[in-house]
Structure 1
């Protein structure tokens, strides 16, 4: 591990960033919308904010809300909170105000870092404010020197909210030690050096943002923060013009990016050297399309928010017979267990469990849910703390894992189980279909598709195409063409938006 030689096990991302600032003071640390900051200047701005937060009475592990626009301020705010010992609570401005207020109340955050034009959304809350724009002169008066106290690895660093089955989001508690583990292992997995430029694409509220931010900062690399809005054409232009070497995207965005091969084939080349895909299932059809347009290797990874890091990976340089999520990496232990909690035989489907030293602490204010999902099992004579993912997989003979979908992505049609991902994959293999999503509409499957612009398909043709390989119960009976599939702010398929569109009869 040449990049991290001599690193103390107790180091945090704050210390790894400061080390990068000492080693590469003049390297560009972050760029966004034509502006950039060197490592030394980013460190100074973060220090000023951290000193201010300490003056405001911030103590170790205290949650601080971050509702900031994408860009350099977002990175300054994040580092400032961590340097001061606080715990970041990302609040994406694109979320509904009611959801953001719920997160602030749930964490009992005492401070909110935001911009003046966002402040009105939180008027009802008795919470201290730091307005990065309106308070700019005040912040600039604070010392730019590093703080003398750094967080402990066991201190709370992050609370990330994910969708909850109860209808309310659940906060995943992430400690400084886990965050540092994420940064150093991600940098190793991606082979990052100070010469790289990584696209920071994910919302700050998405788990991938942690690796996209702290991995490059750990090695002196450049982080390119995309703007709020993007189209395939604009994103490709940004990648080309900014000299991005490593892309980190969800399959939905990769699909979006490759919809115009006459453009993408000219962009997806050197200096781009690697695409990291994760967050959703990567389909064989999409892998095929990627390698039709570029020879850039594709790293397919798997790691839920609760893992805090990638736990399996598979590097692809050409389309494989079966797309897998790869084998366990670093010190992660991964198991496929049957319903009785016993390891399933190779090739047999079961629920995916994992154990890693850097996994989340648990769910904030939800001890019952924490106990349900973070479980203790004895496997191979060893007692392990495991996380139940709710994902289905099977272990292949070569030691790699084939992802089979979510337990809750299986629906029943007339009493028969149907896996929506399998139906979507079949639809996307049609030459005239660029993207597809399937939902349950009443008692039948409804397919939404984006045309590739080649020989516009009709409903009967698509139905016959599906019927060639799928059992009758898994063949959609209604096909609706859309210009684009709805995506969440994290770049994943928005199934709830599809459900709202789906006919109920």
Structure 2
């Protein structure tokens, strides 16, 4: 990743280079000069066909995000950022970069997952000032009236829809920001300003600097405020595509009719609409993709894995919420032959 000299900053110009590493990695010459549009990292997301897809993110996207995030999340020297997320989830990149690139401390607690009283203890014992906590995990915390999160100055929610009740509980007394972004748009594509209690379900705000958000109809024409459409993201945040999968890249990363020549939009597959004051409301998915505890899940990927068990003929995976607020993935299977599938098979 591109690191500035002890401060947050924009990415290097495409002419700038990095120290040669003198090796080859995976057939790619890593000794080549590295520019703003060079690959910075690859992170895998769930795939509807059963094959995860690697998203290639650029240095330009990272530099632009960190510069804007340092201001929006109000992070700097002396702050303590919690490493809550798994490295398999790109929220971990947010936690890493807004701390080490801004002079703050990145606090890596013992192995989790952290929920409820255990998460509260981590926040308080490590004096966490900044944290990104998905709403499902935030809902398990004792309320701030108990003293939980007393050091927490900036609370970022994202990765799934945030209920109004959580805003009412946690926004008073701190900066609470709702952030939205697919992996293909460099961590965060849109965000709100500081949220206020009593305003209902929060929007997902508007696009970051150097990022554009469009709500379009099936013909890729802008829809008026208040009308549902698909959310597309453009600008510096857009990733290079899916590693080694040009066909899938061409399907999801499409020419940008509103940008300069060669610009692309990422079609998120999310439904959204503009409010009268220009902010974006998240309305759910156009396909079967789902979010549970912040993780993007394609049920088709799990169905393909289930069908790979020798005793399984067909499989379907759904989300059940038998208890309000407690979502579970449930798979239903039929046998491939006379012998039913057993728990070890599945």
Q: Specify the TM-score bucket, using the shorter chain as the normaliser.
A: 0.7 to 0.9
Q: Which residue does the alignment assign to 1:275?
A: 155
| CA–CA distance in structure 1, aligned partners of residues 115 and 187 of structure 2 | 28
Tell me if the contact between 1:333 and 1:356 (Cα under 8 Å) persists in the aligned partners. Answer: yes
2:180 to 302, 306, 317: 302
Q: 1:326 aligns with which of 196, 201, 205?
A: 205
Select the residue among 341, 361, 365 that pairs with 2:220. Answer: 341
Q: Which residue number in structure 2 is paired with residue 357 of structure 1?
A: 236
Structure 1 residues 188-214: Cα deviation after superposition (integer angstroms, max 9, x where no partner) = 221211021111111111111111101
SS of corresponding position for 2:236: coil
For residues 159 and 235 of structure 2, the distance between their equivalents in structure 1, rounded to whole angstroms, comes to 18
Aligned residues: 295
Equivalent residue number for residue 219 of structure 1: 102
Residue 69 of structure 2 aligns to a residue whose secondary structure is helix
Partner of 2:23: 58
Cα distance change, pair 173–322 in 1 and its aligned pair in 2 (3 A): same
CA distance in 2, matches of 1:350, 1:264: 40
Deviation at 1:311, TM superposition (A): 2.1
1:447 aligns with 2:328: no
Equivalent of 2:269, from 390, 415, 421? 390
Q: 2:39 aligns with which of 156, 162, 181?
A: 156
Residue among 164, 176, 196 paired with 2:79: 196
Taking structure 2 as the reference length, what is the TM-score of the superposition? 0.75
* TM-score with structure 1 setting the length: 0.53
Q: 1:363-442 alignment to 2 at 5 Å?
A: 363-379=242-258, 384-409=263-288
1:448 positional shift: 1.7
Q: Distance in 2 between matches of 1:445 and 1:208?
A: 23
| 1:20 matched residue in structure 2 | 6
- Given that residues 184 and 218 in structure 1 are in contact (C-alpha distance below 8 angstroms), is that contact kept between their aligned partners in structure 2? no
Distance 1:375 1:320, change over 3 A: same
Which SS does the other structure have where 1:180 is aligned? helix
Work out the CA distance in 2 between the residues paired with 1:395 and 1:253: 28
Structure with larger RCO (C-alpha < 8 A, sep 6+): 2
1:215 deviates by 1.6
- C-alpha distance in 2, partners of 1:313/1:244? 22
CA distance in 2, matches of 1:226, 1:500: 33
Gaps of 5+ in 2: 8-18, 291-315, 334-346
Residue 498 (str. 1) matches residue 329 (str. 2): yes
Residues in 1 aligned to 2:161 and 2:127: alpha-carbon distance in whole angstroms: 28
Tell me if the contact between 2:68 and 2:208 (Cα under 8 Å) persists in the aligned partners.
no
**Which moves more between the two structures, 294-303 or 272-281?**
294-303
For 1:207, which of 82, 86, 90 is the aligned residue?
90
Aligned residue for 1:185?
68
RMSD: 3.3
SS at match of 1:188: helix
Alpha-carbon offset, residue 150 of structure 1: 7.7
Contact 1:173 1:361 in 2 (8 A): yes
Which stretch shows the higher mean deviation, 224-233 or 211-220?
Answer: 224-233
**Which structure features the higher share of helix residues?**
1
Maintained 8 Å contact 2:271/2:283: yes
What SS does the corresponding residue of 2:140 show, helix, strand or coil?
Answer: helix
SS in 2 for 1:352: strand
Matched position secondary structure for 2:330: helix
Which 4+ runs in 1 deviate beyond 6 A? Answer: 380-383
Q: Secondary structure of 2:65's partner?
A: helix
Q: CA deviation at 1:381?
A: 9.1
Instruction: Say which SS state the counterpart of residue 378 (structure 1) adopts.
Output: coil
- 1:209-256, Cα deviation, whole Å (9 max, x unpaired): 111101211121111113222232121111111111111111111112
Does the alignment pair 1:313 with 2:191? yes
Distance in structure 2 (CA, Å) of the matches to 1:381 and 1:176: 20
Shift, 1:264, TM fit: 6.4
